[in-house]
Structure 1
C-alpha cells in the first residue's frame, strides 16, 4: 500500500497526515543501516558529519560512496578533500550524536595517513577523492580507499530514527 492508497485518514486535514516527503522519509527509516561519521581536515580544522548513507562501490579500485545533503555544514567543505569513513561501534552512540548536531566531548581524534579518523571505531576507511555526482538534494561523493582496518565488537545501527546496538554475529570467528 503506497501513500496514494492510504485513504481519507491521511488527508491533509487529518491529525495523522504526513507530507509525502515525511512519509517517504518514514518509509526509508524502516531500512536498518549502520552508522558512520565522515571526518576530514578543513580550512578551519577537523570536521565530521554523522551519516547512514554509505556503501561499497568497487573492489578494483576499492571505492566507497557517501551521500551528503546540500544543507549540511560539511557539504561544501568536502569537495576535493581526502576523508575518512568511521563505522561506529555500539558503545559510540555519543560520538554519533556529537557529529549529528548534538555536540559533546566524546570524539577522540587519530591522525590518519590522508585524513583524520576517530579512535575506537569498529572499522574505518581513509579515502582520496575519486568523483562526485549530483543526487537530488544530496551530493554523492566517491572515495578511493587507500587505508582501512577493523576490530571485533558490537555495531551501532540506525532504524526508525533511533540508534540501536547490533550484536557481533559471532565474536569468536575471525572475519575473512
Structure 2
C-alpha cells in the first residue's frame, strides 16, 4: 500500500482543527492536531493521536493537556503549532487549572492523563476531561490538504 495515497484517501474525511497544549519545563508547548475524538461520557474521555516523530510526543507523556478547538479565524494559530512559527504570536495563552489553553478558541477541553496506547507510528493519548468551555462561532476545518470553515445557519 502506498502510504501517500492512503494519506490522500484519509484526507477526504473533513475534520476540525485543534491545537493540543501543555506545560513543559520552561514554558508552554503545543501541536496542531486533527486526529482527535471523544471516547466516553462516563468517565468523560477524549483521544489525541500524536506522531511518534514529533517533539510533542514526550511532552504529552503523563502530562495534563488541553485540546483547543480552533475557530475559523485561527488558521495562523494552526500553522504556528504545525511547525511554521508566525513572527508575532497570533494568540494569547491562558493558564488553566491543569494545562494552558489558547484564548479565543471556539472551545477548549482540559484533561489529565488517563492512558496511552500504541497506535503504530502514532501514540494514542487518552485524557480525562476536567474542564471545558465552548461558544458559538464558525469552526476551522481541514479537508483534502486545505483549511476551510464550517458555518451553521443560526436559527431564528
RMSD (CA atoms):
1.1
1:68 paired with 2:71, answer no
Query: What is the aligned partner in structure 1 of residue 108 from structure 2?
Result: 124
> Which one scores higher on RCO, CA 8 angstroms, separation ≥ 6?
2
Pick aligned residue for 1:99 from 57, 60, 81: 81
1:35 paired with 2:13, answer no
Pick aligned residue for 1:54 from 31, 36, 39: 36
1:112 paired with 2:96, answer yes
Query: What is the aligned partner in structure 2 of residue 8 from structure 1?
Result: none
Query: What is the aligned partner in structure 2 of residue 146 from structure 1?
Result: 130
Higher strand share: 2
TM-score (norm 1): 0.85
SS at match of 1:63: strand
Gaps of 5+ in 1: 4-19
Pick aligned residue for 1:136 from 114, 120, 123: 120
Taking the aligned partners of 1:171 and 1:37, their CA distance within structure 2 comes to 26
In our comparison, the structure showing a higher alpha carbon Rg is: 1
4+ residue segments displaced more than 4 Å: none
Deviations 1:130-163 (A, max 9, x none): 0000000000000000000101110000011111
1:172 deviation in Å? 4.3
Taking the aligned partners of 2:66 and 2:128, their CA distance within structure 1 comes to 10
